[in-house]
């Protein structure tokens, strides 16, 4: 992998990740851009103890542009985009409309491919491996940024999820705090360790492997399963079999196998609801250990992939119980979801 760092016209950082070592990335961003000005602010909810980002400037962000005006495509034929190169493998840049900025964190956009009409599932194993390398590199770099406590790599896919740009891309957030989901997992892991002397994540994976009924697919270095208490209609958790706290700690064998496992999972997701159905909307979320908390070594890197579609043409809405009380009600038994995801194997 070759990494090239440059700057956009307004000073934001742009990084190219290339599979070829001889790639030259010297295109200049000639757009007349003003310096990015944000109003991001982190406020503490004293009742719940969690943090909320107030970012009113995001109201002006690009919203469903036509394909020939996509800001994530390469700059070609006189049309200038966020990536000044005429082609690219993987590109990462600071978000022009960040939810977090400055001392309140950092937000980046990850373009998985220059092909506007592709999806992550369309990538080759080599391309998917390059995205994994970019996620890992950004985690390593952001770990050294003052004030960043946790790195979150994720993809929102589909209009139903709220995606406003259709180009295949994801995001990376560098949070200045430990997120509520992670804090809950750390608390559960600490309690489990105190009572049993064992690691909670290891026990979860061991249970799923032993019972087998919720396992979707298994490789030599990764296992994917529908969790026992799945929140979403179709939800899969993907764990490396050797527990590590974050992407930086994956070994070579796990990195090599990841594209095979992950691409197969995404392709199965697109077949859940049968032929003729539109692509399945999903959220794909990497859970990594925060950098400085107690219990970091007890945390297990894993990816959670889920869809809000519960059946053809119907979505799972977060209504009263879910939104008001954070008590999920799942219409699809996890065992049935796992069986369906095994049925639609390539």
Active-site positions?
Answer: 169
Question: CA geometry: angle at 85 spanning 144 and 135, to 5°?
Answer: 30
Residue 55 makes CB contacts below 8 A (sequence gap 6+) with: 38, 39, 40, 41, 97, 98, 99, 100
Q: Give the number of other Cβ atoms within 10 Å of residue 59's Cβ.
A: 8
Q: Is residue 67 exposed (0-12), middle (13-18) or buried (19+ Cβ within 10 Å)?
A: exposed
Q: Is residue 9 exposed (0-12), middle (13-18) or buried (19+ Cβ within 10 Å)?
A: middle
Would you say 215 and 181 are in contact if contact means Cβ atoms under 8 Å apart? no
Q: Which residue has the tokens 């065992």?
A: 335
Dihedrals φ, ψ of 195, to 5°? -85, -40
Cα 42 to its chain centre, rounded Å, is: 22
The SS3 assignment for 52 reads strand
Question: CA geometry: angle at 5 spanning 27 and 145, to 5°?
Answer: 150
Strand partners, 69: none
Q: Which tokens sit at 141? A: 């770099």
Q: Which residue has the tokens 């930086």?
A: 248
Give the DSSP letter string of 187-215. Answer: HHHHHHHHHHSS-HHHHHHHHHHHH-TTE
Give the DSSP letter string of 112-171. Answer: --S-TT--GGGS-HHHHHHHHHHHHHHHHHHHTSTT--EEEEEEEESGGGT-S--SSEEE
């Amino acid at each position: 992998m070759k990494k090239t760092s440059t700057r956009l016209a307004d000073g934001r950082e742009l990084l190219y990740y290339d599979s070829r070592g001889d790639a030259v990335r010297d295109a200049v961003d000639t757009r007349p851009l003003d310096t990015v000005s944000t109003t991001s602010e982190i406020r503490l909810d004293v009742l719940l103890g969690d943090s909320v980002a107030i970012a009113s400037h995001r109201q002006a962000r690009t919203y469903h542009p036509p394909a020939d005006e996509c800001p994530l495509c390469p700059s070609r034929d006189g049309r200038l985009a966020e990536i000044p190169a005429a082609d690219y493998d993987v590109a990462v840049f600071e978000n022009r409309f960040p939810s977090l900025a400055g001392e309140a964190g950092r937000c980046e956009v990850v373009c998985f491919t220059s092909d506007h009409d592709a999806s992550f599932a369309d990538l080759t194993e080599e391309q998917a491996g390059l995205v994994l390398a970019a996620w890992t590199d950004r985690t390593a770099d952001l770990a050294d940024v003052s004030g960043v406590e946790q790195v979150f790599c994720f993809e929102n896919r589909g209009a139903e999820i709220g995606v406003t740009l259709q180009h295949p891309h994801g995001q990376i957030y560098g949070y200045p705090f430990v997120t509520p989901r992670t804090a809950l997992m750390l608390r559960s892991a600490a309690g489990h360790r105190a009572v049993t002397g064992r690691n909670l994540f290891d026990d979860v994976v061991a249970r799923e492997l032993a019972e087998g009924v919720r396992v979707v697919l298994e490789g030599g270095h990764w296992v994917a399963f529908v969790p026992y208490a799945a929140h979403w209609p179709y939800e899969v958790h993907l764990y490396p079999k050797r527990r590590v706290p974050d992407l930086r700690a994956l070994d070579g064998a796990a990195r090599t196998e990841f594209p095979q496992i992950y691409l197969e999972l995404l392709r199965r997701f697109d077949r859940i609801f049968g032929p003729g159905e539109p692509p399945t909307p999903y959220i794909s979320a990497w859970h990594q250990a925060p950098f400085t908390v107690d219990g970091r070594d007890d945390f297990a890197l894993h990816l959670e992939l889920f869809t809000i579609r519960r059946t053809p043409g119907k979505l799972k809405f977060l209504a009263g119980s879910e939104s008001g009380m954070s008590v999920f009600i799942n219409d699809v038994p996890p065992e049935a979801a796992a069986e369906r995801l095994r049925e639609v194997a390539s």
